[in-house]
Structure 1
Amino acid sequence: MSARIISIVQNLRRRGTQRAAYRYSSMYKEYYSKSSLLAIHGGGRFEGEVRESGIDLFLGGNTAGEKECAIREGAKWGPDMIHIHREGGGEQGILRAAEKICKKIGKKIPIVETNVFARVDRSEKRRLIDVHFLLTKWCLWKWMSWGRDLNPTPVGTVLPYPVDRRTFFPSPKKKINRFKKEIGLKEKNFLYTRVGGSGPSKWKNTTINSFEKIGKKYDKVNLLMVNPPAKIKKGLQALPKKVNSKVKILDEIRDDERLKDAYSASQVFVHSSKIGESFGMVLGEAMSCGTPVITLSTPLRDNSQVEVVGHNEGGLVAANQSGFERSMEMLYKNEKRRKELSVKAIERVRKNYSEKTVKEKLVNRSEKIMWCIKNNKSVSKKFSSEISLNEIDKWVREKLKKSIGKTGFGKRVAMSLLHRPKIYSTFKYVKGVFK
């Protein structure tokens, strides 16, 4: 089946959503030979990379005229399907652009959405979207729970981000030793590492508090923190001198080769975030390099990290501070288990998040959707049988049981309540009033 698929994003700045849109567009091009990308608000840091790939590119800008021109060019390109990428229901500009393309073409073509944060669109325009792609099963549960009162029921399915295994794989020993020497760490010391964006909400003191106990107890350990925000730096500086001397802070690593070496040099990747993850690309990259992950469960926020890592699969899931500390010590002392998890982490990424696996899912879902629209068949019937809300609700509850430490009863009750549409909307309103 030949098809022309246009993807729509806000811009081409080097952020997770935009990079994923580019990766999906590349997959469309590899399979269908033609693919295009429309950036409503203009280009960004990886505009050149997109052009070099051979993907047709339409750039808008800051003015209404520039945006309209890009949309017009996108419509002239003659797409058979539109794939929008947005954080969720609040970003209406991208959906309006898709609607305008359909009007200019003069016929109904499928519109699919990658919904990054599982935010439900309650506007009337939501009916334009045929299928919503959620990054994980956990995201799908959140989205289905919050949208259970909508009529008609929107259609959702899981389509994860791809992890680039051609870039992220275990570095050789010589490169690892060179990296450690360059940043001033001893080759034989045990290394815990955390890499993340500089936003404060993506970090949590759990890692610092846990390492304080590890650092006091064991001599040959280090903690590498890459790109931490000011508040986390302050917390690290406040550690006792004996522990603080074992901490190394680096600025953001933009070079993928050097980032691969950082992952590979680490015995364990430690991850704790206030707001959790809707996917967590750093987790997949670390696992692809053979580094097992310890991640903190955050059931009241985004919590896809527990699924991406998988307890006793790509690493360990900790339910609380105590579980995080125990996990860090467990993998420090148990080399055999650490090595087993290293092998399983690589295999987990290959099986679930490799470009090959994600591309097969992307193409399979896209062709189903285009066939339904072309033949005037129900898209919802094609996808609604994948999983029910009751089934996925049961899966979430079972997932919470798989961890070091237990998720408290209060958290489990709060999680259930906060994923009921009316209660959640009331909670958001009250939170906004007192913010």
Structure 2
Amino acid sequence: MSGRGNERIRVLHAVKTLGLGGTEKVMQLFVRHLAPERFEAAVHSPVDGPRAAQIRAGGAASYVGMGLERALGAFLPEIVHVHRAGWPEPEFLRPLRDYLAAHPATVVVETNVFGRHDPSPSGAVIDCRLFVSDFCAARFERHTGIPARWPDYGVLYNPVDTDFFAAALPQGPPFAAPILGRISRPDPGKWSRLALDILPLLARGVPGLRCRIIGGIPEAEDFVRRHGLEAFVEFLPPVSTDAELAAFYGGLSVLAHANDTGESFGLVIAEAMACGLPVVTHPALGERDNAQLELVEHGVTGLVADTAEQYAQAVGWLLNNPAEARRMGQAGRDKARRLFRAQDIAARLGGMYLDLLARKGRGAA
């Protein structure tokens, strides 16, 4: 494997927090699904959070509430996998430079969440940058003129536990009622005005409409009150497990995605697809993130709209045509299983690790 007999290759995943965000969830899925006979995975974060207990329950070591240099010294990884935005962060990466001086054959991999460029000296410690969508890789090439090619760069979709969602919702949602859903962090940056402007239009045009929102913000709650939509819209508390997510998605007929900043991948969209839900989304302007259009194929796995009127018409059409909603939801489930299945993504990542180790002179069994 790595010149140490039958010992497993040690991989340390480094994140800034262990909260419930998508970056941390992706890291957790990698740790859970990396081949345990070949890799020993551990997690470092200077900030504790709810994912720490989940990670330890899965059997992985965690180095929480300490500096990265201390975690590196305790675990002595052969691969360090950093999960970050991608822009220059010298303080975050400095401990890696010092560790590499003593362990020069160590491989450093980055999941570059937003497809950003880091030409700084601290960024030179990274051997391979993985983009989370083809969109991010193509935009990086346009902006930098640097070919996003292996082994310096690669594309690896975020993992989704499609097997769990298939088992939790074997038939998909029932599509028995016109119920629209939305889920995000309660962060204004995760919202678009479209998500609000469609509500009065739908309330007038879809008999029996219900809308369930996780991640509501004060502006949204105020909008619902001012427009007298309390009978149609329900704000729900956050969820933290895939079982809770499956229960939420299983009670919907359409997922409404509306985020003006767009998505570099779109984990919420991918999980809804894995549950068999069609998704309605919209393009982001200019060079903002637009990987939501990579996931949602118009007329296949959902619908894409540009204006509030078009968006409301798309949602209303799906709610009034449950057979078509089910067909698109099944197409989305098939796509998610084919492209995002956690076990397959983790196997690809493991293969990348082994190739990068070999390129640094570390043999693989």
TM-score bucket of the superposed structures, by smaller chain: 0.7 to 0.9
Q: Deviations over 1:192-213 (max 9, x none)?
A: 1101110001011212222311
Indicate which of 137, 152, 177 corresponds to 1:140.
137
CA–CA separation in structure 2 for the residues paired with 1:165 and 1:82 = 26
**Structure 2: which amino acid aligns with 1:310?**
E
Matching residue within 233, 237, 240 for 1:251:
237
Residues 80-229 of structure 1 correspond to what in structure 2 (within 5 A)? 80-105=78-103, 107-148=104-145, 155-169=152-166, 189-229=177-217
Find the aligned partners of 2:264 and 2:231 in 1 and give their Cα distance.
34
Residue 357 (structure 1) aligned with residue 351 (structure 2): no
1:267 Cα offset (Å): 0.7
Q: How does 1:241-320 map to 2 (within 5 A)?
A: 241=228, 243-300=229-286, 301-320=288-307
The one-letter amino acid paired with 1:18 is E
Question: Contact 2:177 / 2:253 at 8 angstroms: preserved in 1?
Answer: no
**Where does residue 344 of structure 1 map in the other structure?**
331
Q: Supply the distance in 1 between the matched residues of 2:246 and 2:354 (Cα, whole angstroms).
A: 35
Gaps of 5+ in 2: 2-7
- Larger deviation: 342-351 or 107-116? 107-116
Give 1:295 shift: 0.9
Note closer, same or farther for the CA distance 1:176–1:22 as it changes in structure 2 (3 Å cut): closer
Matched positions, count: 355
Quick check: 1:60–1:67 contact (8 Å CA) kept in 2?
no
Structure 1 runs (4+) deviating above 4 angstroms are 170-177
Q: Distance in 1 between matches of 2:193 and 2:349?
A: 37
- Does the alignment pair 1:43 with 2:48? yes
Distance 1:37 1:172, change over 3 A: closer
8 Å contact kept, 2:172–2:250: no
Residue type at the aligned position of 1:134 = F
Q: Quick check: 2:35–2:350 contact (8 Å CA) kept in 1?
A: no
Mapped to 1, the partners of 2:181 and 2:167 lie a distance apart of 15
2:87–2:117 Cα contact (<8 Å) kept: yes
TM-score by length of 2: 0.88
| Contact 1:297 1:320 (8 Å CA) reproduced | no
Q: Evaluate the alpha carbon distance shift between residue 104 and residue 291 of structure 1 in structure 2; reply closer, same or farther with a 3 A threshold.
A: same
How far residue 59 of structure 1 moved from its aligned partner, in angstroms, is 3.1
Counterparts in 2 of 1:59 and 1:265: CA distance versus 1, 3 Å: closer
Shift in Å, 1:124: 1.9
Instruction: State the partner residue of 2:70.
Output: 69
Post-superposition offset of 1:20: 1.7
Q: Percent identity?
A: 22
Deviation at 1:153, TM superposition (A): 11
What residue number does 1:334 align with? 321
Residues in 1 aligned to 2:241 and 2:106: alpha-carbon distance in whole angstroms: 39
Of the structure 1 ranges 14-23 and 225-234, higher mean CA displacement relative to structure 2 is found in 14-23
2: CA distance between counterparts of 1:282 and 1:108?
37
Alignment gaps of 5+ in structure 1: 178-186, 377-435
Distance 2:165 2:81 in 1: 27
Structure number with the bigger relative contact order (C-alpha 8 A, sep ≥ 6) is 2
Pair 215,71 (structure 1): closer, same or farther in 2 beyond 3 Å: same
Query: 1:221 & 1:171 partners in 2: Cα distance?
Result: 25
Question: Which stretch shifts more, 23-32 or 353-362?
Answer: 23-32
The whole-number CA distance in structure 1 between the counterparts of 2:160 and 2:150 is 31
**Distance change (3 Å), C-alpha of 1:333 and 1:189:** closer
* CA deviation after TM superposition for structure 1 residue 291, in Å: 1.0
Instruction: State the one-letter code of the partner of 1:306.
Output: L
Residue aligned with 2:12, SS:
strand
CA distance in 2, matches of 1:176, 1:344: 13
Inter-partner Cα distance in structure 2 for 1:302 and 1:156: 19
TM-score normalized by the length of structure 1: 0.74
Tell me the distance in 1 between the aligned counterparts of 2:22 and 2:343: 19
Q: Secondary structure at the match of 1:272?
A: coil
Q: Which residue identity is paired with 1:351?
A: R
Query: How many angstroms does 1:246 deviate by?
Result: 1.5
Partner of 2:4: none
Would the aligned equivalents of 1:113 and 1:129 in 2 still touch at CA under 8 Å?
Answer: yes
Aligned residue in 2 for 1:406: none
Structure showing greater Rg: 1
**1:55 alignment partner, one of 60, 75, 86:** 60
Per the alignment, do residues 214 and 98 of structure 1 end up closer, same or farther by CA in structure 2, a change over 3 Å counting? same
Please say if 1:237 is aligned against 2:242: no
Letter in 1 for 2:141: M
Quote how far apart the aligned CAs of 1:359 are: 1.7
- Contact kept in structure 2, 1:147 and 1:153, CA below 8 Å: no
